[in-house]
Every structure is written in structure tokens, then in C-alpha cells.
Structure 1
């Protein structure tokens, strides 16, 4: 039937995301995606047009889920614990899998073959969204008076730390080291009551 996908789109998109996450954007071909999904290349092209459009499609789903999970982790009533929970979440995300899968956003940002403006815009959108949810949490009454810097500045530093943690994880492969660094940063940003 014309216009109707002849494959399980949800499952195929999950498999596509997994390939991009493990191999990186530049190292992934449409043939790789067809093999991983079991969907013919022509059907992938017909449904999504090209590799970049397919990446942007799965990255948007990833962004929505990641930011929602971050919001859930920031819900703790104590702002210090909320930030520590947030860092636990980001560290768990990047260290999942064997070998550890790393961070899709950072992996894509450092991939010289992923430097198109649509991809850069998607990455900025993800990081800006993460900054917004952190700034919103830190702007709440229970946090704002305890901050060493304004909420927006704190959020920017916290997101920057998550990107640095990705690099440190790839070098040291030691989640406890990442958690200790995150705790030190939280101690510097939020005073203990």
C-alpha cells in the first residue's frame, strides 16, 4: 500500500539510534542502518530521505527522552541531592553498554563529518534544553538563595561539566571519579544548609 511503512518504525528507529550511538554519525552508512534494521536501503531513503534526516529524526526522540529523564532526576526536594541525582543519571547514561556507549551528543559534536548546520542546531537545541531545565530547577525557592552564582550561569557550568565528564569517562573509565568531580562542582555551586 503506497505511503504506508512496511516495517516496524519504532523498532527500526531504536536500532538506528543504537548504530549512530555506537559507531558515530560519520562512521555510519545507510548500508549499516539497513543491515541493523533489516529494512532495505531504498525503503529507508523513501521514508527518511537521507542519513542526516534519519539522524535528526532519532536524535529528536533521544533529546525528548533524555531531557524528560533529567527533569525526573532533578525532582528531589533538596537542590544539592537533585543535582547529584542528575549527575548520576548522566553518568549512568554514558557508561551503559559494553563497551560503554559514551554520550551521543558529545560524540556527534566532536565528529568532523557531523558538522552540518542542521546537526549543529540539533545539538545546540539539546544542550540549551538541558540548561533550561537545570536553570528552572535552580530558580526554585529551595535553591536560588543557596547558589554561589545565578541559576542560568550555574546551569551552563553544570551542562559544560557533563560534556567534560564524557571525555574523562573515555580516558579513565571510572564512574566513581566522575561522581566525585560532580560532587565537588555541586559543593561549589550550592551551599550546604
Structure 2
């Protein structure tokens, strides 16, 4: 039937995301994506136009899930524990797999072959979304008077720290080191009760 996908789109998109995550945007070809999904290259082009459009499609799903999971971790009623739970989530995300899969957004941001404006805009959108999730949590009543800096500034520092954790993890492969640094940062931002 014309206009109807002849493959399981949800499953194919999950496989596409996995390939981009493991190999990086620049190192991934449409042939790689066709092989991973079992969908012919022509069908992928017909359905998604090109590699960039396909990446942006799966990145939207990734961003949505990531931000929802981050918000869920921040829902902890104790501010300090909420931030530690948030860091646990981000650390678990980058250390999953063997070898560890790292961070899709950071990998893409440092990939010179992914430096197109639509991809950079998608990355900014995700980081801005993460900053907004953190700012909302840091602006709740229980955070009033406990922050060493205003909520927006604290959120920006926390987002930046999550990106730095990706680099440190790739060098040291030591999640405990990341958690210790996160505890120190949280202690610097959140005053004791």
C-alpha cells in the first residue's frame, strides 16, 4: 500500500538509535542503518529522506525519554537527594553496556561530521530542556533558601557537569569517581538544612 510503512517502525527506530549511539553520527552510513534494521536502504530514504532526517527523528525520541527520566529522578522530595538521584541517572545512562555506550548528545556535539545547524539546534534544544527541568526543580519551595546560587545558574552548572562527566568517564571508566564528584558539586550548590 502506498504511504504505509512495510516495516515495524518502532523497532527500526530503536535499532537506528542504537547504531548512532554506538558508532556516532559521522561514522554511521545509511548502509549501516539498513543492515541493523533489516530495512532496505531505499525504504529508509523513502520514509525519512536522508541520514540527518533519520537522526533527528530518533534524537527527538531519545530527548523526550531522557528528559522524562531526568524529571522522574528529580521528583525526590529532598532536594539534595533529588540531585544525587539525577546524577545517578545520568551516570547510569553513560556507563550502560560493554563497552560503556557513553552519551549520545555529547558524542554528537563533538562529531565534526554532525555540525549541521539542524543537528546543533536539536542538541541545544535537549540541553535547554534539561536546564529547564533542573530549573523547575531548583525553584520549588523546598529549594528556597538552600541554593548557593540562583536556580537558573545552578541548573546551568549541573548540566555542564553532566557533559564533563562523559569525558571523565571515557578516560577513567570509573562511575564511583563521577558519583564522588557529583556529591561534592551538590554539596557546593545546596546548603545544609
Question: The TM-score by the shorter chain falls in which range?
Answer: over 0.9
| Cα shift at 1:144 | 2.4
What count of residue pairs does the alignment treat as equivalent?
193
Provide, for residues 124-162 of structure 1, a one-character-per-residue CA deviation record: whole Å limited to 9, x for no partner. 000000000000000001012100000000000000000
Matched residue, 1:59: 59
1:117 has 2:112 as partner: no
Matched residue, 2:153: 153
Matched residue, 1:16: 16
| Cα shift at 1:192 | 1.3
1-side partners of 2:6 and 2:142: how far apart?
A: 51
2-side partners of 1:135 and 1:122: how far apart?
A: 20
When normalised by structure 1's length, the TM-score is 1.00
1:130 has 2:122 as partner: no
| Cα shift at 1:121 | 0.2
2-side partners of 1:144 and 1:6: how far apart?
A: 53
| Cα shift at 1:116 | 0.2
1:100 has 2:100 as partner: yes
2-side partners of 1:144 and 1:94: how far apart?
A: 31
In structure 2, the gaps of 5 or more residues are none
RMSD: 0.3
Matched residue, 1:177: 177
1-side partners of 2:133 and 2:34: how far apart?
A: 36
2-side partners of 1:177 and 1:14: how far apart?
A: 31
Provide, for residues 54-101 of structure 1, a one-character-per-residue CA deviation record: whole Å limited to 9, x for no partner. 000000000000000000000000110000000000000000011000
When normalised by structure 2's length, the TM-score is 1.00
**SS of 1:26's equivalent?**
coil
1-side partners of 2:160 and 2:61: how far apart?
A: 22
The answer (yes or no) to whether the contact 1:144–1:150 under 8 Å persists in 2 is no
1:73 has 2:73 as partner: yes
Matched residue, 2:143: 143
| Cα shift at 1:21 | 0.2
1-side partners of 2:144 and 2:119: how far apart?
A: 34
2-side partners of 1:76 and 1:156: how far apart?
A: 20
